[in-house]
Structure 1
Amino acid sequence: MNKNDYKKAMNGLRISEDFIDRTTIKMKEARKEETTMKINPKDNKQSGKNSVVFRRFAVSAASLAVLVAVGTVAFHLPGNGSPEKGNSLKVESIDTGKKTAAGTTTPAGAEATGGITVPTVKLPDSNSAVTARMLPLFVYKGHIYVQSATAFETTDGMTLDKEDVLALRGDFLGKTKGSLNEWSSQKDYDKEFASTIGEGDVYTVKGYDSDHRLMVYYEYEGGGFGCELYDSFGGMTIKTGEDYFKLLNLNGNVASYQWQSFNSWNNGVNDIQKGKDTKALEAFLDSLNTAVPLGENLDMLTENTDYDGQKFVDIKTKDKLVTTLRLFKSGYVYDSQIGFFKVDDKAFQTFWDTMPVTDTADGSVSNGDTSNAALALTLSESSLPVGTKELKATIKNNGSEDVFFGADYSLEKLKGSKWVVVPGMKDMAFIDIAYSVAPGSEQEFTADLSQIKPSLDAGKYRLVKNINGQTFYGEFKLR
């Protein structure tokens, strides 16, 4: 590869849309854990679950902090719209709202009825230190189109079906120019089809308003192709949910849907569940037309992080597109393009209740269908003689992505009705190494019981193991 090839490859790097959300949440959780530990420095009753999770979150937050500082400016922009001369790229200020009696943040303006105006992207001037090339965008008729949160449905998470793409491809409008980079001046952004994405053919999208949604189609040498959707909502005034959601073409167009819990999303487990109540979904989508738009609120976005506080719903439409909505237990819907909407309580709650997430007796979390769990830990034997030197477990990955775990673990013994960490665990040390389990495969994990001093006597125990950010338990007896 030559210098230009490396530059092109680096320009093509993308950070996932939810990168900042995940990292902010983990940093908050790490701080909460750290505060608790400082307040109770002599409390040795902490479970293995707390200590393992804290270490993982603390490392994650520290290693990603620098990227967040960059990503917040370059990726988490509040909207897009026409270029404004003389302005520099910036993140709009966020009203953090107010606290309710229950302690939950309510987005500012919840009582307002005048609607909201979607902020526009502020383009960088030539002296700005911020690089706009990291944001996929192009200019058309004086408006900026930014890569959409809606995507084409794929069979393996990557491969597009060409027939599906061509079925949605409308009229040809022109070709983007790879003319924008961090050194571009304001006049460069005023040119039709100026872009940060290189050269691609721009088309309308059948069934969608071209003022708000277009597609960029690529043909590659050797017969390959690519396609991305781009949206423009900056400067748009939204008085009711219908003003926005009608542009997504969801009502009467649903083919199926799937969902996952907050824990599944937050820990990257991808424990995806198939939606089973299309009627409840349709009623919920109808209620979005009368939803009250509230706009962005960072505190609200990173709160309600208990196991049943949020749910992520992927809505697959008949035209082979997938739109993701983020539901909050208190009756709010978050859309990454616009922000928060307050939804009719009855329709929201009915749909919410069709997606059960249970907190099981052993403290683990399930989406309600354990037969289809994306990740599982199973002990080889549930009853062993005293003096057993090794405890073997199997980690099975039924998900679609690699999962990771370390060499560490904890052991707890049941005393009365409480699980207590065995004394020997405080002297245990583990090598700092990561193991992975590929999708559709399993791997054995061994706990060396011979290293625990004093030795374990007869009783009921459980193995506590952190896998991919989740805590799993395996109960066994020593007889």
Structure 2
Amino acid sequence: MSNKVKQEMDRILIPSELHEKSKMGVLMAKAEMPRSKRNMPIKGIVAAACLVVGIGGYSIFSQQSSKSNESTNIVQERNSLTIPPIQLPKTSSENMKMIGLVVYNGKVYTHTATEIDSEHAKALIDEKLGTTKPTIDEWSKQDQYSVEFASTIGKREIYSVKGYDKDFRIMAYDEENGENQAEFYECLNGITIRDGKDIFGQLKLDNHIVMAEYRTYSDWNHSKDYFQPVKDKKTLSAFVNELNHTLPETREKVEELLGDFRNDKQYKQLILHLEDGSRVSLVIIKGGYISYGSSDFYFKMDNEIFSKIWDQIS
């Protein structure tokens, strides 16, 4: 992480009673960011970090049911998780940082764990949807979330992405002085997840992976790009296919079960390189757990396919 980004993050103020929880949020953000941020603007990096500070730092999800997860109000039914729409906390102030988001078509899209190189981004531009308004900040009222293209990312041009459902993913894309900047935003809230296909199917992983690589907990923790390739393509293909059949569980439940799992023996980062130039970052936890981005849920893969991929990345 560059000194400039660190300085920006150090300026984030968090209520003292939430300090410990927020530190864990920043840790998760670092773990779940895609591999390289060298081509990403500073504001994009800070937005990605602020996303988890927001989710980890205070409850921003509306109460949907009495059968809710206490920390995030995720509704857990027998065979599904319902992720409520993102909402502002009841009390906003200068001590709270908002998430990196864009409001489009009545839905909130947040910064994603998939990145795209600038040279590939232009080829994925589809329909121009609009231009963001820099209207949401720490003092915004809830009704401002209903304003089309309200955002926390400044003024950016927003497009749909070729090959992807715009109800799931959109892209901020700008060209300046012959260079372009592109960031994906995805809607991972206000949805019900029944199995992995509801998320991984949207990422278009099946039959579109060019290669995969991984690194250890220590390497990402020290910002070292020591990635190793996944050599067994057959095992990789079976793992990616099986992602669609995994079952969701809340982050709170899983991490209480796992205990201190952030170490080289239990934690790996897996990067999937797709044909369209995008790179999907997954966190793989020994025991069969997979997470995508800063979401408050994991997916459980409980069969020999996970054991085989774990052997490949251990």
Return the TM-score normalized by structure 2: 0.75
Aligned to 1:313: 270
* Contact 2:267 2:285 (8 Å CA) reproduced: yes
Aligned to 2:184: 229
What are the Cα deviations for residues 65-95 of structure 1, in whole angstroms up to 9, with x where unaligned?
xxxxx986425479999xx79xxxxx96169
Unaligned ranges ≥5, structure 1? 1-8, 25-69, 86-90, 96-107, 154-159, 357-479
* Contact 1:79 1:121 (8 Å CA) reproduced: no
Aligned to 1:20: 27
Aligned match of 2:85 in 96, 100, 120? 120
Q: How far is the alpha carbon of 1:186 from its aligned partner?
A: 2.8
* Contact 2:29 2:52 (8 Å CA) reproduced: no
Q: Which one has a larger percent helix, Structure 1 or Structure 2?
A: 2
**Number of corresponding residues:** 271
Question: 2 CA distance for matches of 1:17 and 1:201?
Answer: 32
Question: 1 CA distance for matches of 2:59 and 2:307?
Answer: 29
Q: In structure 2, do the counterparts of structure 1 residues 237 and 72 end up closer, same or farther at CA, with 3 Å as the change threshold?
A: closer
Aligned to 1:299: 256
Q: In structure 2, do the counterparts of structure 1 residues 21 and 330 end up closer, same or farther at CA, with 3 Å as the change threshold?
A: same
* Contact 1:21 1:302 (8 Å CA) reproduced: no
Question: 2 CA distance for matches of 1:254 and 1:244?
Answer: 16
Task: Find the residue that maps to 2:183 and give its secondary structure.
Answer: strand
Q: In structure 2, do the counterparts of structure 1 residues 77 and 313 end up closer, same or farther at CA, with 3 Å as the change threshold?
A: farther
* Contact 1:212 1:232 (8 Å CA) reproduced: yes
Q: Say yes or no: does 1:165 pair with 2:109.
A: no
Task: Find the residue that maps to 2:239 and give its secondary structure.
Answer: helix
Structure ID, larger Rg: 1
What are the Cα deviations for residues 141-172 of structure 1, in whole angstroms up to 9, with x where unaligned?
1111111111114xxxxxx22xx111111101
Aligned to 1:145: 109
Unaligned ranges ≥5, structure 2? 1-6, 13-21, 32-49, 64-68
Question: 2 CA distance for matches of 1:253 and 1:17?
Answer: 33
Q: Counterpart of 2:229 in structure 1: which amino acid?
A: K
Q: How far is the alpha carbon of 1:294 from its aligned partner?
A: 0.7
Aligned to 2:19: none
Q: Say yes or no: does 1:244 pair with 2:224.
A: no
Q: Counterpart of 1:243 in structure 2: which amino acid?
A: D
Task: Find the residue that maps to 2:269 and give its secondary structure.
Answer: strand
* Contact 2:52 2:99 (8 Å CA) reproduced: no
Task: Find the residue that maps to 1:353 and give its secondary structure.
Answer: helix
Q: How far is the alpha carbon of 1:189 from its aligned partner?
A: 2.3
Q: How far is the alpha carbon of 1:263 from its aligned partner?
A: 2.8
* Contact 2:51 2:99 (8 Å CA) reproduced: no
Q: Structure with the greater relative contact order (CA < 8 A, sep ≥ 6): 1 or 2?
A: 2
Return the TM-score normalized by structure 1: 0.50
Task: Find the residue that maps to 2:202 and give its secondary structure.
Answer: helix
Question: 1 CA distance for matches of 2:30 and 2:172?
Answer: 30
